Structure 1
């Protein structure tokens, strides 16, 4: 839940904004938050005290849709039992189910799809006057830029920067193109302008995000745009770390890796959703690069970035996946020794081609395979982290440990916010937002312990 800055002159009307789903959705929520503030509301974390409640939904999977519905129904209780006068649903779930929602969720006053969240202030004002229409849907074409007002929800030293919107990859298991529209990217100059503004506000870490960051500029035929963007961010005073998230495998080439290797700011970290390791399954997934196997891509990365941290997401139970295919996937995880692995069971989402494929894998088999793969990765993670003991690494200090004021927490450049574990700081002092040298003293399954050297 987002919480805006408060002051003694703040208006008495309160609003709560709940952001579900991925970091890309969080940026949308920050745009929503700025509009809510401009409507005259103070943002609060206490939904039970809010007169306006906005839920920015995820709709990628049915489980995410159910989570969104559960949140909306929980918030609806405050309309009958509390001060809440208006409940609004925004985002991917609305884009996916559209005009069906008013009958299914009569408790919700207003529905805005992914094409309309940037117009929330205007639409909500009009709704207060007329009470209709209740659903706002169009083909998504909007793209944030450096001039878009955002109310930050992340700690002051770190920020997500959305460099593109939508997706044109057309993977057979995915409905994102229907929810977010075709791929469209910002210009190098516009992203750099936003990074400079963030640096002026004290941000030291920028995480570049999109459905596919490595496609940056491709919608304009500008295949070298991402390299130029990283070079431009190298020149932004104040930014210390730049991290590249959501890199599509077939677009990870030598020019990008050489740029990363030469950079003093772009951290040696790549988040590459391979999805699988078996060529036949990848072809059925419509993952377009069949010339290079995942192993070859990893070899290329490690040749240029030998200390790179590598994150991937893998899918088990895709239609037609045999026990032999799954064993090959397990071997891939065991032998490639990736740093961070997310494992997901295939979900036959309505609207994705793979939902109609033959040879669907039974749900119990999917779950068993998921747990097996996670257990293998846990051993890999434990072994890789143990090798760091005694090494000296820079740590971005994040703040006090949530469970005790006697400890602090931070992250290595190899750890992205929220998803990759953290460093528990047992000795030393530093200001929040500082990047300081530290020695790794102990490791756990996913977290580390360290003492600061400053």
Structure 2
């Protein structure tokens, strides 16, 4: 995602953010640090003398994308006005010193441990400090007082309630990339949310590597519940969405809190990763003792209208043909509305990369395609249930392909990752929440006509 470009007089700077929403928040925190050096917003990246790339390093495919992006932007040192190229984020945290020789075009590298210090690092560089690599164990955690320039739509925001991870799944680099799990205080998060609402935000998406672990680093298990209760009391906030919850921490009390809330939407993003106990054990998922089917039944018992997003890894070492068939059967029975599917990637530095019985790449890709095709039909079936219903839709603006149509989202459609609602009749402004009658369903999107403003 290209974030706002900034300039100072005749000098420009650009920030390019790659990866997840959590990374995007980091980028939004880096932007004001550049602004604090006296820069203003502008539009032309080809004129940038300073370019900052915030990278993802979770999977090898993300690293390849980052390197390609960096090399493309580094060409502006000869064809454009770039005099300083800075690379930040997870890829730097993962590879460290190896990048110095791999990417000599880059002037400064800073890991996830140092994105909060971008301003002082740039100042040090201006003052002649030759240090190129800034990296240590990530410990820093931003607060409501940390300057942030949001790049999302004005009425929607991500609120990162914690950073890092202490789960140590065998396939995952996150504890190395982000450091140990550390939570913000409830008071500070509520303060940030209140500020966001005062700026016109109607929808808040709570994010962390594991939102349900909120408070556990302070030995306060279950702190997510009082956080939700306090956020629920913020005037003029419409929707609160919880992303990235861990299966073994979805408790009856959490579900009761969601059911009683006026603003927490009936939506959960639960990365189950698999349904077969032996695979979950090999993944070292802490929730491997939780029966996924019973968990979904529990959730729907408490909140029948709950919409679920999950993700699965296919082709994990030792996954047999029968294991995959069991996973297909599980997905068919559960009827998840939103599913992401990833072919297992043996990331160097993880335990899973060294495991026996690695699944061939071709078979992994076949399994991924098969599961996605099944989910496409399930998604259409789920969406067809909305036809004829009048639902609240948050209008995001014109359809990307034509200004004759508007597009928006239901409360149970998260930004960026889920489908959308295409408005085929009626008028509204971006940021309005309207009542719209659903008229048809596609594989991932709905069509609707506005009935009245809400």
CA shift, 1:41, in A, is 2.5
Within 2, Cα distance between the matches of 1:176 and 1:348? 14
Q: Match for residue 174 of structure 2? A: 176
Q: Match for residue 444 of structure 2? A: 446
For the Cα contact (< 8 Å) 1:426–1:451, is it kept in 2?
yes
Q: Match for residue 391 of structure 1? A: 389
1:338 to 310, 317, 336: 336
Q: Match for residue 155 of structure 1? A: 153
For the Cα contact (< 8 Å) 1:4–1:42, is it kept in 2?
no
CA shift, 1:237, in A, is 1.1
Pairs aligned (count): 452
Within 2, Cα distance between the matches of 1:379 and 1:278? 23
Say if 2:438 is the partner of 1:436.
Answer: no
* 1:251-279 deviation per Cα after TM superposition (whole angstroms, max 9, x unaligned): 00011000000011000000000000000
Q: Match for residue 27 of structure 1? A: 25
Q: Match for residue 286 of structure 2? A: 288
| Structure 2 unpaired stretches of 5+ | none
Within 1, Cα distance between the matches of 2:110 and 2:319? 38
* 3-state SS, counterpart of residue 51 of structure 1: strand
Q: Match for residue 348 of structure 1? A: 346
Within 2, Cα distance between the matches of 1:173 and 1:24? 19
Say if 2:85 is the partner of 1:91.
Answer: no
1:372 to 370, 373, 381: 370
For the Cα contact (< 8 Å) 1:234–1:265, is it kept in 2?
yes
Q: Match for residue 139 of structure 2? A: 141
Q: Match for residue 298 of structure 2? A: 300
Within 1, Cα distance between the matches of 2:39 and 2:374? 48
Within 1, Cα distance between the matches of 2:288 and 2:69? 41
* 1:178-204 deviation per Cα after TM superposition (whole angstroms, max 9, x unaligned): 000000000111100000000000000
| Structure 1 unpaired stretches of 5+ | none
Alignment of 1:74-89 (within 5 A): 74-89=72-87
* 1:354-390 deviation per Cα after TM superposition (whole angstroms, max 9, x unaligned): 1111000000000000000000000100111112110
CA shift, 1:47, in A, is 2.2
CA shift, 1:39, in A, is 1.6
For the Cα contact (< 8 Å) 1:247–1:271, is it kept in 2?
yes
CA shift, 1:238, in A, is 1.6
Within 2, Cα distance between the matches of 1:189 and 1:4? 30
* 1:409-429 deviation per Cα after TM superposition (whole angstroms, max 9, x unaligned): 000011000110100011111
Within 1, Cα distance between the matches of 2:98 and 2:208? 28
For the Cα contact (< 8 Å) 2:4–2:42, is it kept in 1?
yes
Query: For the structure 1 residues 44 and 317, does the alpha-carbon distance in structure 2 shift closer, same or farther, using more than 3 Å as the test?
Result: farther
1:60 to 55, 58, 61: 58
CA shift, 1:431, in A, is 2.0
* 1:50-96 deviation per Cα after TM superposition (whole angstroms, max 9, x unaligned): 11110000000111011000000000000111111110000000000
Q: Match for residue 246 of structure 2? A: 248
CA shift, 1:2, in A, is 4.2
* 3-state SS, counterpart of residue 75 of structure 2: helix
CA shift, 1:434, in A, is 1.6
TM-score scaled by length of structure 1: 0.98
Within 2, Cα distance between the matches of 1:14 and 1:418? 28
Q: Match for residue 101 of structure 2? A: 103
* 3-state SS, counterpart of residue 397 of structure 1: strand
For the Cα contact (< 8 Å) 1:257–1:301, is it kept in 2?
yes
For the Cα contact (< 8 Å) 1:3–1:44, is it kept in 2?
no
- CA RMSD in angstroms comes to 1.2
Query: For the structure 1 residues 256 and 45, does the alpha-carbon distance in structure 2 shift closer, same or farther, using more than 3 Å as the test?
Result: farther
Within 1, Cα distance between the matches of 2:262 and 2:196? 19
TM-score scaled by length of structure 2: 0.98
Say if 2:423 is the partner of 1:425.
Answer: yes
* 3-state SS, counterpart of residue 366 of structure 1: helix
Query: For the structure 1 residues 60 and 45, does the alpha-carbon distance in structure 2 shift closer, same or farther, using more than 3 Å as the test?
Result: farther
Within 2, Cα distance between the matches of 1:215 and 1:231? 17
Q: Match for residue 270 of structure 1? A: 268
More divergent stretch after superposition (422-431 vs 192-201):
422-431
Q: Give every structure 1 segment of 4 or more consecutive aligned residues whose post-TM-superposition deviation is greater than 4 Å.
A: none
More divergent stretch after superposition (431-440 vs 359-368):
431-440
CA shift, 1:44, in A, is 4.3
